[in-house]
């Protein structure tokens, strides 16, 4: 489960209401794959979908 702060929620709302973002778009949040044998990280990648 991913919990978002109110600041993160506001940032996502600004992204989704920005000019050029299609109506009905959403956010995809994915874990970043570790590099060459590194331990699993807690980094996330965000993509408008």
Task: Using the structure block, give the residue that is written with the tokens 């109110």.
Answer: 6
pLDDT of residue 13: 95
Q: Are 43 and 32 in contact (CB under 8 A)?
A: yes
SS3 11: helix
Write the pLDDT tens digit of every residue in 12-35.
999 999 999 999 999 999 888 777
Both tokens assigned to 30: 């994915």
Sign of CA dihedral 31, 20, 3, 10: positive
Check whether 48 has a pLDDT greater than 80: yes
Mean pLDDT of the 5-11 span: 95
**What pLDDT was estimated at residue 4?**
92
- Share above pLDDT 90 across residues of the chain, in percent, rounded to a whole number: 61
């Amino acid at each position: 489960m991913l919990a978002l702060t109110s600041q993160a929620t506001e940032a996502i709302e600004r992204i989704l209401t920005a000019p050029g973002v299609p109506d009905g778009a959403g956010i995809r949040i994915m874990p970043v794959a570790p590099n060459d044998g590194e331990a699993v990280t807690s980094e996330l990648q965000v993509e408008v979908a």
